[in-house]
Structure 1
Amino acid sequence: MNERFRIRPLGQPGDLGWVVMAHGELYAAEFGWDATFEALVSRIVADYATDHDPRREAAWIAELDGRRVGCVFCVAADQATAQLRILLVHPSARGHGLGGRLVDECLTFARRSGYTHMTLWTNDPLVAARRVYLSRGFTLAEQERHHSFGVDLVGQVYEIDLRAGVEAVRPRPAEQAAIGD
């Protein structure tokens, strides 16, 4: 990994606003999603900012030369299950393994915090993110068509057992088909 990149805990002034703005702008430009997606991200960020338990929930910012280029949040779904939320890597920083590093931060934190499972919700256009999730051992648990953010999507829930080994696993053939490889 190029030393120009670093991952740090979320918490500097402007981090929260950047997360919302980056999601709104990038998802509109790349996938045609409307402002209802930005509103969802802003609720997730606001909930985290106003009421999170730092022993059980955390978030990280990825930087390139001191400029924010990525993020991920780990929040409690319930006592045993962590939820990975709002992973993003800006196009200017893609191709350097940053998405994987952010997911690894989330997984490591969740294990250290005593969670036994992690879940996440994503949508079918996010192929690169799904590849990262599958390479870390997540498996597709369910999927459902829906109309959200102004477009037709297939929502997908992925899960991982955090008690299993931490080594990356290859996706099963059915999961490969789910991501279009």
Structure 2
Amino acid sequence: MPQQDRKHVVVRPADRPGDLGWAVMAHGETYDRQFGWNTDFEALVAGIVADYGAGHDPAREAGWIAEVDGRRVGCVFLVAGDRPEVARLRILLVTPEGRGLGLGTRLVEECLAFARAAGYEQVTLWTNDVLTAARRIYRSFGFTLADEEPHHSYGHDLVGQNWTLDLGRP
């Protein structure tokens, strides 16, 4: 590969000013362009990010940003679930500019490594069936579909899915 075609790719903690706001904006813009989803989706993401930003426990929760040549192109968050042994993978995104570089896989790897180190026994996530690339990544790590249900959200008829991955006891 010629030198000028090489990209500098980094996955780093989501701890810099602008990271949280970027995650919300990028979700809103990307999902509008790709799926025509309305601002209800951006509001959902904003709530997730606000909860994380307002008081996450750094020993149990973390977020990551993927960058290409110094520009943010992806993110993912791992937050505590409803039970102490369960974590939730939230808002995985790789923008069109960052796709094809394996960043979705790298972001999920970071999440799962952190979940194991934090002592979680299970990771869950909620997604929609139209997000085929993300579902392919989740399957590759061993996530299994727990259940699914049709819903009308973000201006569309969708099928929401809950996925789980058992990490085992630490």
Scaled by the length of structure 2, the TM-score of the pair is: 0.94
Instruction: Specify the alignment match of 2:65 in structure 1.
Output: 61
Which of 33, 49, 58 is residue 45 of structure 1 equivalent to?
Answer: 49
How far apart are the structure 2 equivalents of 1:71 and 1:14? Answer: 12
C-alpha deviation, 1:3, in angstroms: 5.8
**After the TM superposition, which residues 92-103 of structure 1 pair with which residues of structure 2 at under 5 Å, given as runs?**
92-103=97-108
Please provide the CA RMSD for this pair: 1.0
State how far apart, in whole Å, the 2-side matches of 1:93 and 1:16 are: 18
C-alpha distance in 1, partners of 2:26/2:64? 14
Q: Structure 1 residue runs of 4+, over 4 Å off?
A: none
Identity %: 63
Residue type at the aligned position of 1:146? H
Aligned pair count reads 163
Kindly state the Cα deviation for residue 44 of structure 1 after the two structures are TM-superposed. 0.3
Tell me the SS of whatever aligns to 1:99: helix
CA distance in 2, matches of 1:18, 1:103: 19
**Map 1:52-131 → 2, pairs under 5 A:** 52-77=56-81, 78-131=83-136
Are residue 151 (structure 1) and residue 156 (structure 2) matched? yes
For 1:148 and 1:12, the matched residues in 2 are separated by 31
Pick from 18, 21, 26 the counterpart of residue 30 of structure 2. 26
How far is 1:145 from its partner? 0.3
- Distance in 2, Cα, partners of 1:90 & 1:28: 12
Aligned to 2:3: none
Q: Which amino acid aligns with 1:89?
A: V
Q: Distance in 2 between matches of 1:147 and 1:124?
A: 13
Amino acid at match of 1:154: V
Please say if 1:162 is aligned against 2:167: yes
Offset at residue 93 of structure 1 (A): 1.1
Structure 1 stretches lacking a partner, 5+ long: 165-181
